[in-house]
A and B are shown apart, each in its own frame.
Chain A
Amino acid sequence: MSLTCLPVGDMALTVVFEQKIAENINRRVVEMASRLAKRPVKGVVEIVPAYASLTIYYDPLIISYQEMVERLHELDHMSGEYEEKQRIVTFPALYGGEQGPDLNDVADHHGLTPQQVIDLHTSALYRVYMLGFSPGFPYLGGLPRQLSTPRLDTPRLHIPAGAIGIAGSQTGIYSIDSPGGWRIIAHTPVPLFRLDEDPPFLLRVGDLVRFMPVTDEEYQEIVQQVNHGTYQPQIVDHTGKEVNGS
């Protein structure tokens, strides 16, 4: 399969994969990004994986566009060595009530009970397709079809960091306090963005995410731990081994 590369101005190019939101396509994006990370090309400034594309920012004073494209073709033709080292990150979540003001509306919209919405939302394993919107905000694919719900007609002015929302066929977690139109069904106390860590972002593209329902008491206990800096996010690697932090 040949690669399609397009210039984005004079200092970036985008490798365009098949334009659809699908796991196998996003895996190719992550694969290309990880090959580039493993075999750094001189002149590459930064790389930005998205749903179905990988954008490479380069310094044209160090590497020409043509050379950059050739390097990418070489990387694409290397085969067999890649294994996606996925991590699974579990987020404890308190559903409904003040922390999930749209849970009942989402349930009504689909003729489900709030508990059925919770069961469906926590049953799935989601993939981080892209980070964006705000620093560290994960666009999560894999929402059970029955939960797909349009955005709010009028976005809220203030959504707290940690709010878990649904927009169309996607679900996501607000990483900082911000305005937003996603339907908020739950809240997690686990911070996605911590300035005292390097990198300060909990998630990366290609990670898997799952939500675990907690009671009000468990939620409060985790809030305490987070505030005291003693909370360790639950992260396991692709072999099932526990890994913490990044």
Chain B
Amino acid sequence: MVQDNRLFEVIKPGLFTTVQDLGRIGYQQYGMVVSGAMDPFALRMGNLLVGNDENDAALEITMVGPVLKTCRDCLIAVTGADLGLRLDGHPIPTWKSVWVRQGAVLSFAGARQGCRAYLAVRGGIDVPPVMGSRSTYVKAGIGGYNGRPLRSGDVLEVGIRGLSERPRDDFLPFANRRLPPEMIPRYGTPVHVRVILGPQHDMFTMDSLEAFLREPYLVTPQSDRMGYRLKGARLTHTGPAEIISDSVACGSIQVPAGGNPILLLADRQPTGGYPKIATVISVDLSLVAQAKPGDHICFHAVSLEESHRLLRQREQTIQMVKTANRLVTG
């Protein structure tokens, strides 16, 4: 008999729902886009809440959530944005692992806070890995579910660790686990985001550099997983608005000749030819991922030492949850 791996049947796909893990690492040298969850913190926490590896694949749900019918008993956790999660029509909490019966329907009533939610499932979403990752890169049709966002009628499958014979016994110890409230980020506008200046901040006038760190920037509707086009104080270059193309990081803020910054994110091309005024520090990328068109972002400069201190702090928090997982599994 063929094993039944079915997990969700997609009744409605939502606005833009894709399979994402932590991205395709090691192929930028070939021009390959990294992709992966826009909000890595929310993805990692969702996975840890259901007892997965941090890098397991989950659904990234944008603004308008899908309607999913469960094909098996499963353990889920929704993290990130509050998009109005419902189980059989009733509100249930996010940032918490929840036991869900076969035949139940998950839906989302509407966005209340943030932009992107993550639906993690015990065992992970199983799609064929491409270059070591299950992340969807829609522009090239690579990875995820057939290289594209979900559509009605799609059937998602669960990874091997979600295929227990006795799911109740095996997974219930992980049910009803939640994060301490102080670990759960709050999303609002304006979003205060810390940056490390450069590498080409010296290609801008002093006035522009000051304005960049003083004025709020609007997230325009021309914003997606590739990057956010921002509008605010226009930035002036001291010379030509181009450099010899070099690598751009997730969070790099490049400024073309027009003076409106572009904040590059998960689906950015690995290289670019515009001067970069600053780069958002990694712990604050999650806040950027939760900003939606119409929100404002304020940038604040910090030192490299400070960013690394914040990173260590963040990783200690994640380490605590991992330790708790080991205690559950014994």
Q: Is A51 in contact with B196, judged by CB distance below 8 angstroms?
A: no
**Across the two chains, which residue of chain B brings its CB closest to A200?**
B131
> Is residue B5 within 8 Å, beta carbon to beta carbon, of the partner chain?
no
Q: Is A14 in contact with B247, judged by CB distance below 8 angstroms?
A: yes
How many contacting A-B pairs (Cβ < 8 A)? 134
Q: Is B276 in contact with A8, judged by CB distance below 8 angstroms?
A: yes
Neighbouring A residues of B196 by C-beta, 8 Å = 7, 9-10
- State A199–B30 Cα separation when bound (angstroms): 9
Q: Is B30 in contact with A135, judged by CB distance below 8 angstroms?
A: yes
Q: Is A205 in contact with B140, judged by CB distance below 8 angstroms?
A: no
Report B94 CB to chain A, min CB distance, Å: 28
> Is residue A88 within 8 Å, beta carbon to beta carbon, of the partner chain?
no
> Is residue A117 within 8 Å, beta carbon to beta carbon, of the partner chain?
no
Report A155 CB to chain B, min CB distance, Å: 15
- State A100–B165 Cα separation when bound (angstroms): 59
Q: Is A133 in contact with B269, judged by CB distance below 8 angstroms?
A: yes
**Given that A21-B244, A50-B245 are contacting pairs, would A7 and B31 also be in contact in the complex, using a CB cutoff of 8 Å?**
no
Q: Is B244 in contact with A51, judged by CB distance below 8 angstroms?
A: yes
- State A11–B284 Cα separation when bound (angstroms): 13
Neighbouring A residues of B241 by C-beta, 8 Å = none
> Is residue B92 within 8 Å, beta carbon to beta carbon, of the partner chain?
no
Neighbouring B residues of A64 by C-beta, 8 Å = 308
> Is residue A131 within 8 Å, beta carbon to beta carbon, of the partner chain?
yes
Q: Is B31 in contact with A176, judged by CB distance below 8 angstroms?
A: no
- State A136–B28 Cα separation when bound (angstroms): 9
> Is residue B252 within 8 Å, beta carbon to beta carbon, of the partner chain?
yes
The residue from A51, A57, A198 contacting B246, defined by CB atoms under 8 A apart: A51
Q: Is B28 in contact with A10, judged by CB distance below 8 angstroms?
A: no
A-contact 0/1 string along B262-302, CB 8 Å cutoff: 00000001110000100111100000000000000000000
Q: Is A51 in contact with B245, judged by CB distance below 8 angstroms?
A: yes
Neighbouring B residues of A85 by C-beta, 8 Å = none
> Is residue A219 within 8 Å, beta carbon to beta carbon, of the partner chain?
no
**Across the two chains, which residue of chain A brings its CB closest to B283?**
A10
> Is residue A47 within 8 Å, beta carbon to beta carbon, of the partner chain?
yes
> Is residue B315 within 8 Å, beta carbon to beta carbon, of the partner chain?
yes
Q: Is B246 in contact with A50, judged by CB distance below 8 angstroms?
A: yes
Neighbouring A residues of B246 by C-beta, 8 Å = 14, 16, 50-53, 55
**Across the two chains, which residue of chain A brings its CB closest to B305?**
A65
Report B60 CB to chain A, min CB distance, Å: 21
**Given that A45-B25, A61-B315, A130-B271 are contacting pairs, would A8 and B252 also be in contact in the complex, using a CB cutoff of 8 Å?**
yes
The residue from B245, B304, B311, B312 contacting A7, defined by CB atoms under 8 A apart: B304
Neighbouring B residues of A175 by C-beta, 8 Å = 31
The residue from A10, A21, A61, A132 contacting B269, defined by CB atoms under 8 A apart: A132
Report B268 CB to chain A, min CB distance, Å: 11
**Across the two chains, which residue of chain A brings its CB closest to B29?**
A48
Q: Is A8 in contact with B199, judged by CB distance below 8 angstroms?
A: yes
Of the listed residues A10, A52, A135, A176, the one surrounded by the most CB atoms of chain B closer than 10 A to its CB is A10
The residue from A8, A20, A33, A45 contacting B198, defined by CB atoms under 8 A apart: A8
> Is residue A46 within 8 Å, beta carbon to beta carbon, of the partner chain?
yes
Neighbouring B residues of A198 by C-beta, 8 Å = 131
> Is residue A134 within 8 Å, beta carbon to beta carbon, of the partner chain?
yes
> Is residue A165 within 8 Å, beta carbon to beta carbon, of the partner chain?
no
Chain B interface residue count, Cβ-Cβ cutoff 8 angstroms = 41
Q: Is A9 in contact with B252, judged by CB distance below 8 angstroms?
A: yes
> Is residue B75 within 8 Å, beta carbon to beta carbon, of the partner chain?
no
Neighbouring A residues of B270 by C-beta, 8 Å = 48, 132
Give residues of chain A (157-199) contacting chain B, Cβ–Cβ below 8 Å.
175-176, 195, 198-199
**Across the two chains, which residue of chain B brings its CB closest to A52?**
B244
The residue from B31, B198, B271 contacting A136, defined by CB atoms under 8 A apart: B31
Neighbouring B residues of A205 by C-beta, 8 Å = 29
- State A204–B31 Cα separation when bound (angstroms): 10
Neighbouring A residues of B276 by C-beta, 8 Å = 8
Report B112 CB to chain A, min CB distance, Å: 30
Q: Is A65 in contact with B29, judged by CB distance below 8 angstroms?
A: no
- State A51–B246 Cα separation when bound (angstroms): 7
> Is residue B26 within 8 Å, beta carbon to beta carbon, of the partner chain?
yes
- State A87–B195 Cα separation when bound (angstroms): 41
Give residues of chain B (78-132) contacting chain A, Cβ–Cβ below 8 Å.
130-131
Neighbouring B residues of A16 by C-beta, 8 Å = 199, 246
Neighbouring B residues of A204 by C-beta, 8 Å = 29-30
**Across the two chains, which residue of chain A brings its CB closest to B197?**
A7
- State A7–B27 Cα separation when bound (angstroms): 21
Neighbouring A residues of B142 by C-beta, 8 Å = 135, 195
- State A137–B269 Cα separation when bound (angstroms): 11
> Is residue A201 within 8 Å, beta carbon to beta carbon, of the partner chain?
yes
A-B contact pairs, 12 of them (CB 8 A): A7-B198, A8-B248, A9-B251, A16-B246, A33-B29, A46-B25, A48-B29, A49-B29, A61-B312, A133-B31, A134-B140, A204-B29
Residues of B within 8 A of A (CB): 25-33, 130-131, 140, 142, 195-196, 198-199, 243-252, 269-271, 276, 279-282, 304, 307-308, 311-312, 315
Known contacts A16-B199, A201-B32; 5 further A-B pairs (Cβ under 8 A) = A7-B196, A7-B199, A8-B252, A50-B245, A64-B308
Q: List the 10 closest pairs (A to B, CB-CB), nearest first.
A: A9-B279, A55-B247, A131-B31, A10-B307, A6-B199, A48-B247, A201-B30, A132-B271, A132-B31, A53-B246
